[in-house]
């Protein structure tokens, strides 16, 4: 969750006098704060995937991602008396992105059920009976149906050549969520770039990025 990031480099206002950053208080910093949109979205995605994919569906793809989390995180408890820096979590990045991708894949309908799984067999039966398919709403779970999703069939979507699934399987709300996460990640990358790369910025600009007291 990026609770206590590591400060790799810091030059304060006293050292940066006259540096010219558009302010009379300039600083330079390099922080290990990751892309907040990715890391914080992945926390929610992890909880979602644990319940939906790992527990309910017994999907091996989620268990493969969990191996990374368990293998990298649990050993830290053996060394609780040692100093552990947050930049060690850089090794988590592939699994953070994988879990986020799995969750978005479920929500968009682009992650097909594991062949032969109970969910895959149930969807095959529903397709054969005409309960799902072209001109029908995309398959959704009970909760999504209760909150009002899936009232209409999906008629527009990304081509099957891009997603690997027929257009009718696409869940529009999931596609919008993917777009929101991508845009948020790009915005965070632009906003944090100066303090990822040690550029000269005003103290107020740097302080604006310190959302949590533990980040300072």
CA distance from start to end of the chain: 15
Comparing 73-82, 120-129, 191-200, which segment has the lowest mean pLDDT? 73-82
Q: Is pLDDT larger for residue 112 or for residue 184?
A: 184
Is the predicted pLDDT of residue 83 greater than 80, yes or no? Answer: no
Strand partners, 11: 28
3 state DSSP class of 148: coil
What average pLDDT does range 22-29 have in this prediction? 88
What is the pTM (predicted TM-score) of this model? 0.83
Q: Over the chain, what is the mean pLDDT?
A: 85
Task: Look at residues 47, 38, 48 and name the one whose alpha carbon lies nearest to residue 183.
Answer: 38
Identify the pLDDT of residue 154: 64
Identify the pLDDT of residue 145: 63
Residues 6+ apart with CB under 8 A from 58: 117
* Tens-place pLDDT, residues 93-112: 999 999 999 999 998 888 98
Is the predicted pLDDT of residue 54 greater than 80, yes or no? Answer: yes
Of the pLDDT bands very low, low, confident and very high (cuts 50, 70, 90), residue 193 is very high
Distance CA 209, CA 3 (A): 14
Is the predicted pLDDT of residue 58 greater than 90, yes or no? Answer: no
* DSSP structural state of residue 136: S
Identify the pLDDT of residue 137: 66
Range with top average pLDDT, 10-19, 42-51, 110-119: 42-51
Identify the pLDDT of residue 21: 83
Of the pLDDT bands very low, low, confident and very high (cuts 50, 70, 90), residue 175 is confident
Residue with tokens 């397709």: 127
């Amino acid at each position: 969750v990026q609770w206590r990031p590591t400060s790799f480099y810091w030059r304060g206002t006293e050292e940066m006098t006259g540096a010219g950053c558009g302010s009379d208080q300039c600083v330079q910093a390099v922080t290990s704060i990751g892309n907040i949109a990715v890391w914080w979205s992945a926390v929610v995605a992890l909880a979602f995937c644990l319940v939906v994919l790992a527990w309910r569906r017994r999907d091996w793809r989620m268990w493969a991602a969990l191996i990374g989390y368990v293998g990298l995180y649990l050993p830290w408890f053996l060394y609780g008396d040692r100093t552990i820096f947050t930049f060690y979590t850089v090794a988590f990045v592939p699994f953070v992105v994988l879990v986020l991708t799995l969750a978005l894949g479920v929500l968009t309908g682009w992650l097909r059920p594991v062949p032969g799984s109970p969910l895959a067999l149930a969807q095959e039966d529903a397709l054969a009976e005409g309960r799902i398919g072209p001109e029908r709403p995309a398959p959704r779970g009970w909760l999504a149906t209760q909150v009002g999703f899936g009232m209409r069939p999906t008629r527009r979507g990304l081509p099957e050549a891009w997603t690997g699934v027929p257009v009718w399987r696409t869940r529009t709300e999931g596609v919008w969520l993917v777009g929101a996460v991508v845009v948020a990640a790009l915005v965070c990358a632009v906003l944090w770039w100066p303090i990822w790369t040690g550029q000269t910025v005003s103290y107020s600009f740097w302080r604006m990025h310190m959302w949590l007291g533990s980040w300072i």
